[in-house]
Structure 1
Amino acid sequence: MSKLEELLAQKGALLADGATGTNLFEMGLVSGDAPELWNTDEPEKITALHKSFVDAGSDIILTNTFGCNRHRLKLHKAEGRVRELNIAAVKLARDVAEASGRTVLIGGSVGPTGELFQPLGALSYEEGVAAFKEQMEGLVEGGADILWVETMSAVEEMKAAAEAAQNFDLPLVITASFDTAGKTMMGLSPKGLGDLQSQFACTPVAIGSNCGVGASDLLAAIMDITEAYPDAIIVAKANCGIPQIKGDEVVYTGTPELMAKYAHMALDAGARIVGGCCGTSPIHLAAMRAALDAHQAGARPTLNEVIAEIGPLVSPPNKEADAARAENDGSGSGRRRGRRRS
């Protein structure tokens, strides 16, 4: 068993960390700048962020490496620093974890390349695998416990990340962002993510959802996954309420009380790793920690109960469009088309 599976077996459910970007903006990060450069330029601030999450009770903290691949770093003329920045990020997180006096796992955060894969864009599948492998080499060398692939949308990109991950003896986690009418921007449904597990070159230890829009939408997504795959280890890492634009700022509406309710409902929906994404501060995480510690298993929530407790869906599924698509591609009850893609 991996360290992640061992800790899950010991504790039953784990608390992941909160937001990286939005909390770094509070520390002075300027929009458009690369937070990954702070791993060497402002290491004390990254350390402080990790410590705030650990002090709030996180069992897993993610490295400041979401965009630390060659394609995103080239926007800042730092594509030659992939290994350096990933190693530095893991070491900052590792120092905090080891000083905590308890088991805190380090998830090496791997975000999308920022490029469209062929045929929609210029990036080939092989180039995607190479970019992910290069980043993962730095994360592994630095001492990460988990390869944590997050905020994914495209099937090809997830497969490329999984193929890269098979080169390393670390557990793989893959989470997608279901932010477009209940699906990812590239059209993948929550159940579709579960279906992909058997197609990945490296089978993930855990799958789930992060970011997206509101916490209710994320709960709806993980409920779809757990309904179809009740034995899977599921990650729920929701934004802190609903984002609202106020002037030049994006403000998240979630209170600590709301995020505690979300944590309870995520556990009852079948999640075993619960955390927060954009807008989630250490204060929110402390409330979520208390919720996990006090949780008594309840009935699986219904979508209506989620909406009543957490709030309305921001981007509800487009059932009419899905029905029409099923009719056209032959998967519905209507007439089948002549040819089907294998």
Structure 2
Amino acid sequence: MPFDPAMKLTRDNFKNLPPLCSDGAWGTEMQRLGAEPGQMCDTWNTEFPEKVLSVAQSYVDAGAQIILTNTFNSNRVALVRHGIPELAYELTRTGAKISRRAAQGKAYVFGSIGPCGKMVMMGEISEGEVEEAAAEQARAMAEGGADAIVIETQTDLMEAEASARGCLAACDLPVGISFTFDSGKGNSFTMMGVDPEQAYNMARRVGASFVGANCGAGIESFVHLASLFSKAGGELPVWIKGNAGLPSMGPDGRYFYSAPPELYSGVVEPLLAAGAHFIGGCCGSNPAHIQAIAHKMSSLH
């Protein structure tokens, strides 16, 4: 299937997508536009929509064929910490609409759902509550015009599976799951002890359309993770979004990442050879990093 953002993605045709370039970090780009370190910027979808739009557009202009949405923290459970759980649907729907506007027919929009902030396996929240929160976001994503959903930065199989079940039941969009591997030998485990094979098997069992890894470490470490996901089955496309190196704190209290764009372009071919299907950046990456990925992928395909 050729790359055609005008074509509706379905759970049946998703596996036929060609290798694609995804976007980069949103949080550090928001800081560049005035956000404070650690600030929850999902409320910018309604407060400063043009700033959010500018971030999304910058990635489309850089060549990203997939852009996410500014909705990582917009699930009802996570928003309780900020005293605004009732805004979950509207922040999510508006975030999807902003990215849809930025895509301009040049990119797919994948709605971002992050962790809820409570541990299912520790009894802090029930699987049913996680499902309900994810389902609410999924309905809002669909209404806002998202093409697919990515449940990202996951560490716990139980939460990830519950979120996926909620999304899959609430809409007809393809749903993927991305984990953060930053523990154990070779950073091959999540902080809750999940390895790529376990993540892959759960994603396939629940009916996800893709699976992979984001955040955790620098992009060069993701070649190994991509190969582990591929060896686990090879049926689901592999999603990869790595950080721009490890963070350092500047004198102003803001984190900065030092990996140059050339590092990203240099790792594209090894990632593809290892089985990666979607390649982008996470923390610290910016449009220059994504442009480097896009140019390299274009030269190879």
TM-score by length of 1: 0.80
Match of 2:211 in 1: 207
- Matched ranges for 1:197-236 at <5 A: 197-200=203-206, 203-236=207-240
Q: CA RMSD in A?
A: 1.8
**SS in structure 1 of the partner of residue 284 of structure 2:** coil
Q: Quick one: which of 258, 262, 268 aligns to 1:253?
A: 258
Q: Quick one: which of 170, 177, 182 aligns to 2:180?
A: 177
Q: Quick one: which of 154, 158, 161 aligns to 1:159?
A: 161
Letter in 2 for 1:162: A
Is the Cα–Cα contact under 8 Å of residues 215 and 242 in structure 1 kept in the other structure?
A: no
Note the residue ranges of structure 1 that are not aligned, 5 or more in a row: 297-342
Match of 1:89 in 2: 95
Letter in 2 for 1:92: I
**2:258 pairs with 1:270:** no
Note the residue ranges of structure 2 that are not aligned, 5 or more in a row: 2-7
State the distance in 2 between where 1:161 and 1:245 align: 33
- Residue deviations 1:33-63, cap 9 Å, x none? 3210000111111000011000000111100
State the distance in 1 between where 2:15 and 2:133 align: 30
Residue 8 of structure 1 and its aligned partner are, at CA, apart by: 7.0
Q: Which moved more, 1:229-238 or 1:283-292?
A: 229-238
Residue 3 of structure 1 and its aligned partner are, at CA, apart by: 1.8
Name which structure has the greater RCO, CA cutoff 8 Å, separation 6+. 2
TM-score by length of 2: 0.91
Residue 244 of structure 1 and its aligned partner are, at CA, apart by: 2.6
- Residue deviations 1:125-168, cap 9 Å, x none? 11111111112121111111101111101011111011102221
Match of 1:108 in 2: 111
- Residue deviations 1:84-126, cap 9 Å, x none? 111111111111113xxx44111110011011114x1320111
Compared CA separation, residues 91 and 9, structure 1 to 2 (3 A): same
- Matched ranges for 1:1-342 at <5 A: 3=9, 9=16, 12-98=18-104, 102-118=105-121, 120-167=122-169, 168-181=171-184, 182-200=188-206, 203-247=207-251, 248-295=253-300
State the distance in 1 between where 2:165 and 2:106 align: 29
- Residue deviations 1:285-310, cap 9 Å, x none? 111111101127xxxxxxxxxxxxxx
Match of 1:316 in 2: none
Residue 79 of structure 1 and its aligned partner are, at CA, apart by: 0.7
Is the Cα–Cα contact under 8 Å of residues 145 and 170 in structure 1 kept in the other structure?
A: yes
User: What is the percent sequence identity of the aligned residues?
Assistant: 33
State the distance in 2 between where 1:143 and 1:78 align: 23
State the distance in 2 between where 1:154 and 1:86 align: 23
Compared CA separation, residues 284 and 32, structure 1 to 2 (3 A): closer
Compared CA separation, residues 8 and 241, structure 1 to 2 (3 A): farther
Letter in 2 for 1:13: P
Letter in 2 for 1:65: T
